[in-house]
Amino acid sequence: MQVRLVCLLFASLVVTIASVTGCGGSSMKSYNVSGDVTFDGAPLPRGTIQFLPDATKGNKGPAGFANVVDGKFDTKTSGKGTVGGPHKVVISGFDGKADPSAELLLGNQLFGDYRTDADLPMEDGTQNFDVPKSATAGPQRSNYSEP
């Protein structure tokens, strides 16, 4: 069951990025975002973070993403930068205890996709996120409504 969940997570990440970025090149300026991700106040051991331009607020462009390692992320070193402006942010968290025999490369899932909003600057910058303990209450937690 967990193997399917991890596979589904990565498949959804790939599909999301492909659908937002498309096949062609982009002439839009990209900005790097780095920062910290905590879960219940402690650094998130492993995870992913996606930055999806919020079309409902007039923002468009390719999605940004990065890996989270020991509570830190940087789109410059492990992902793709953002276009700046209003974004929907999706964070997935894992305990970091990899089990290759069970195909749990990031470890066991700590919480389902946690969703929040961020207004990113039109320049390289830092953004920190705290995922509350309540994010473990269900498969998806959100503090905004999806269209």
The 8-class DSSP code of residue 71 comes to: T
Residue 135 lies in a domain: yes
CB 129 within 8 A of CB 89: yes
The predicted-structure confidence for 40-73, as pLDDT tens digits, reads as follows 999 999 999 999 999 999 999 999 999 999 999 9
Domain assignment present for residue 11? The answer is: yes
Q: What tens digit of pLDDT does each residue of 65-84 get?
A: 999 999 999 999 888 999 99
Q: Whose CA is closest to 92, among 41, 133, 35, 47?
A: 47
Tokens of 92: 């997935």
Chain CA centroid to CA 18, Å: 15
pLDDT of 11-32, one tens digit each? Answer: 455 545 544 444 445 567 999 9
Residue 147 covered by a domain: no
Q: What is the CATH number of the domain that holds 118?
A: 2.60.40.1120
pLDDT band at 105 (very low <50, low <70, confident <90, very high): confident
Domain boundaries, position 98 = 2-22+30-142
Cα dihedral across residues 9, 60, 130, 78: positive or negative: positive
